[in-house]
Structure 1
Amino acid sequence: MIRLLSSVTISIFIGQLSFGHGSASKHAPDEARKIDFPDTAHHKTLVLDPHTHSVFSDGHVWPRIRISEAIRDGLDAIAITEHLEYQPHINDIPHPDRNKSYEEAASSAKYSNLLVIPGAEITRSLPASHMNALFIQDANKLLSVPETEASYTPNEFSSQAKAWPPQNAVDAANEQGAFLFWNHAWWRTDYPNGIPEVSDFHKRNIEAGLLHGIEIANGKHYSEDAFQIALDNNLTLIGASDVHDLIDWDYEPHKGGHRPVTLVFANEKSTDSLKEALFDRRTVVWFKNSLIGRDAHLYPLLEASLSIKGATYRYSEILAVTIVNTSDCDFQLRNLSPYGLHERTAVFTVPQHSSQTLQVRTGTKVESISLEFEVLNAYTAPNQTATLTLESTVTSLPSKPNP
């Protein structure tokens, strides 16, 4: 089937190809598609995509393209996590050293501010399923395939690689100090009903401190069941693109879309600080304009993103309140306050990096205002939305002079 590309996509793709033989770091962030969230009161907010692929496993682009995309999207960090056991291009791109993809990506990003995290995907069927290992030192030690004089076909290689017990790969990753998370637990290949279950394999590794997180959003899919598993088992919440094609094809940022990412609340922008924050479960997932996280991490982000920047009586007893949004999320709010809104319904949107002015009927003039809102696209548990209170002092303009 021939895939037709829009002129916008073609121009973006050509721009990316220009970095095939040079450093992708020359590509600056694109302000129109940059993923931008404010720092919280106590942490830096780092944007991480911890699950991507290139032609060094079953992806369809060179690692440098992944770096170029990440820089254009304004990411702080990325991991290219190749399937160790899936090597469909093994005859075209033989690479006995499974660190090659990371080395290519890191070389491309060396003059940029992008953190490139070494990682790999451990690929098995149930009960282990797929798991990503980040911050590894040597991907080769997570794989065992008998040597042979004849070249393996892709299917033969996969079969031999998957024969090695997955626990061995998990142990090898942890020996390197890796952060491990369970990928797309709800996949229908594992659970035809889309409802994941925590296997004995996962239980053992969680209890032993060898499995640290779980994806709750992967690609175009979100699982509230995986979210609940994370809460029940004290696992880090992870969101990732799992991109194999171009980001522009899969997420259409030129049309306002975005890849799912993990927002990590770190002490500073460094690999060590990012790793420490992931192990400490300080994350929020951004998926299809929704923010998903634990109370302790979601609320500081909401408080940093939304604020009142003016509450004024303008020649009447109806209060004009301006709410400012400094994040990339279009916040959908529902008024829970005792005060009614004038000329609009209780539900409204504060667009990203913009503001919305409300007319609030306070009845009589007040000196300060406290407004409570339900944030309809921010979740602290499955089907449980966040509430946020915004406060401000009130100013009054001089009375309007009589004509």
Structure 2
Amino acid sequence: MNLKYLLGYFLLPFCALFLNAQNQVFFKPPAGYAVTSTDLHIHTAFSDGSVWPNIRVDEALKEGLDLISITDHLEYQPHKEDIPHPDRNRSFDIAIDRASNSELTVIKGAEITRSMPPGHINAVFIKDANKLLFPDDAKAAIVEANNQGGFVFWNHPNWERQRPDGIARLDPLHKELIRENLLHGIEVANHTTFSEEALTLALDNNLTVLGTSDIHGLTTWEFKIPEGGHRPITFVLSEDSSNAAIKKALFQGNTMVWFKDLMIGKAALLSNIIQANLTASNISYHEDEIIGEVKLKNHAAAPLHLHYKGPYTFHEDSSVFIIPPYSEKILQIKTLTRKTRLELPFTLLNGIVGAKQYLNFSVSTP
């Protein structure tokens, strides 16, 4: 094969990574808050991932993330003959060194890897991954993660290898962990899957809603980033962008998940974020017409699939329409009489607040 084509073949995914860097905020924060983009489930060659930890940092920087956690498997070490490492903190050390002098925060994490129950459990904001190694006692590892001040969540509870029917459900051990406040969150989106049942478990048990990449290969390939895709991201709504505030907000459940085109979270928080990212102009009229014009602006990286629920009809659109990311939409509204102000009620059809439940909210003109 011609050398230049061979080089192009191997360099293409890395060129795409640089050319598709995120240079706009994903979501504008509501007034008085910070919104932090995170991925809290990531693997490297130090467990069963395919890349060195520095690549995970480079990916996150190019994709515009604010915070990641390298969560290599504690017990599952398929590369140990090639990469023997007695220190389970090593991938974090390499990643944080790579992220130094950048805008990316890397926090220490690990994946407690067990059969069901409890399945795979992530612990982030921990101090020492080595102390979580309890070969014969999964609960002891979870207790130790809590003793270190860690935020602990259940990974892919719908994983077909552990739940052949794909249904997330609680076993007695999970109920015990929740009752003892040892389990704080649950993934409703993992890699390419979304679980309505996991979302129901989160809402019913006051668990924090999370979405993660669980990346093992290259994000640019697995999530088709050159074609406009993105990894699942958990956005944390906190008082400020400090690690302490982000950790506090995780424990409080102040999160929204962006999975494919879906925005998933508890209704009040999701409403706050959407209302900060969809704004309306003043209503205006042409000459003697009584068809008002309102410009809606989507400030977010996600498209907004909207269903208008109010009393009026539109001149050029049906009641269902989409505003693409970072775009504007002019609505011509048949108001029958001239109005100086309008309240526009919508259902966000890609805003998930429960199993088969969608976000209802309103936007008002100034």
TM over 0.5: yes
Deviation of the 1:126 alpha carbon = 1.0
Q: What is the CA–CA distance in structure 1 between the aligned matches of 2:9 and 2:290, rounded to whole Å?
A: 50
9 and 229 in structure 1: CA distance in 2 versus 1, 3 angstrom threshold = farther
Q: Which residue of 2 aligns with 1:325?
A: 298
383 and 165 in structure 1: CA distance in 2 versus 1, 3 angstrom threshold = same
Residues 88-127 of structure 1: matches in 2 within 5 Å? 88-127=78-117
TM-score scaled by length of structure 2: 0.94
Q: What is the CA–CA distance in structure 2 between the aligned matches of 1:100 and 1:323, rounded to whole Å?
A: 48
Secondary structure at the aligned position of 1:181 is classed as: strand
Deviation of the 1:309 alpha carbon = 2.2
CA offsets per residue over residues 39-69 of structure 1, 9 Å max, x none?
1123101000000100000000010000000
Q: What is the CA–CA distance in structure 1 between the aligned matches of 2:346 and 2:268, rounded to whole Å?
A: 18
Q: Which residue of 1 aligns with 2:29?
A: 39
Q: Which residue of 1 aligns with 2:179?
A: 207
Deviation of the 1:310 alpha carbon = 3.4
CA offsets per residue over residues 298-343 of structure 1, 9 Å max, x none?
1110110101023211232111110011111100101111110112
* Matched AA of 1:104: I
Residues 1-400 of structure 1: matches in 2 within 5 Å? 10-13=11-14, 30-31=21-22, 36-144=26-134, 161=135, 164-315=136-287, 316-393=289-366
Q: What is the CA–CA distance in structure 2 between the aligned matches of 1:49 and 1:348, rounded to whole Å?
A: 30
Secondary structure at the aligned position of 1:388 is classed as: strand
* Matched AA of 1:363: L
Pairwise CA RMSD: 2.0
277 and 285 in structure 1: CA distance in 2 versus 1, 3 angstrom threshold = same
How much identity, in percent, do the aligned residues show? 42
Query: How many residues are matched?
Result: 361
* Matched AA of 1:235: L
Q: What is the CA–CA distance in structure 2 between the aligned matches of 1:243 and 1:377, rounded to whole Å?
A: 24
Q: What is the CA–CA distance in structure 2 between the aligned matches of 1:309 and 1:94, rounded to whole Å?
A: 60
Q: What is the CA–CA distance in structure 1 between the aligned matches of 2:9 and 2:263, rounded to whole Å?
A: 29
Point out where structure 1 has 5 or more consecutive residues left out of the alignment: 17-26, 145-160, 394-403
362 and 7 in structure 1: CA distance in 2 versus 1, 3 angstrom threshold = farther
Secondary structure at the aligned position of 1:368 is classed as: coil
Deviation of the 1:15 alpha carbon = 7.8
35 and 78 in structure 1: CA distance in 2 versus 1, 3 angstrom threshold = farther
Q: What is the CA–CA distance in structure 1 between the aligned matches of 2:218 and 2:345, rounded to whole Å?
A: 41
Q: What is the CA–CA distance in structure 2 between the aligned matches of 1:186 and 1:70, rounded to whole Å?
A: 26
Does the 8 A contact of 2:66 with 2:104 survive in 1? yes
TM-score scaled by length of structure 1: 0.86
CA offsets per residue over residues 248-302 of structure 1, 9 Å max, x none?
1110111011100101001111211111110011001111111111122111101
Deviation of the 1:217 alpha carbon = 0.2
Q: What is the CA–CA distance in structure 2 between the aligned matches of 1:175 and 1:374, rounded to whole Å?
A: 42
Does the 8 A contact of 1:186 with 1:226 survive in 2? yes
Secondary structure at the aligned position of 1:366 is classed as: coil
Q: What is the CA–CA distance in structure 2 between the aligned matches of 1:194 and 1:365, rounded to whole Å?
A: 53
* Matched AA of 1:58: D
Q: What is the CA–CA distance in structure 2 between the aligned matches of 1:93 and 1:15, rounded to whole Å?
A: 29
Q: What is the CA–CA distance in structure 2 between the aligned matches of 1:6 and 1:298, rounded to whole Å?
A: 45
93 and 104 in structure 1: CA distance in 2 versus 1, 3 angstrom threshold = same
278 and 29 in structure 1: CA distance in 2 versus 1, 3 angstrom threshold = farther
Q: What is the CA–CA distance in structure 2 between the aligned matches of 1:253 and 1:314, rounded to whole Å?
A: 43
Secondary structure at the aligned position of 2:281 is classed as: strand
Secondary structure at the aligned position of 2:81 is classed as: coil
Q: What is the CA–CA distance in structure 2 between the aligned matches of 1:366 and 1:344, rounded to whole Å?
A: 20
* Matched AA of 1:176: Q
Secondary structure at the aligned position of 1:54 is classed as: coil
Q: What is the CA–CA distance in structure 2 between the aligned matches of 1:374 and 1:117, rounded to whole Å?
A: 36
Secondary structure at the aligned position of 2:177 is classed as: helix
Secondary structure at the aligned position of 2:283 is classed as: strand
Q: What is the CA–CA distance in structure 2 between the aligned matches of 1:252 and 1:5, rounded to whole Å?
A: 22
**Segment drifting more, 196-205 vs 237-246:** 196-205
Q: What is the CA–CA distance in structure 2 between the aligned matches of 1:116 and 1:357, rounded to whole Å?
A: 41
Q: What is the CA–CA distance in structure 2 between the aligned matches of 1:5 and 1:182, rounded to whole Å?
A: 42
Secondary structure at the aligned position of 2:346 is classed as: strand
Does the 8 A contact of 1:29 with 1:71 survive in 2? no
Q: Which residue of 2 aligns with 1:151?
A: none
Deviation of the 1:31 alpha carbon = 3.3
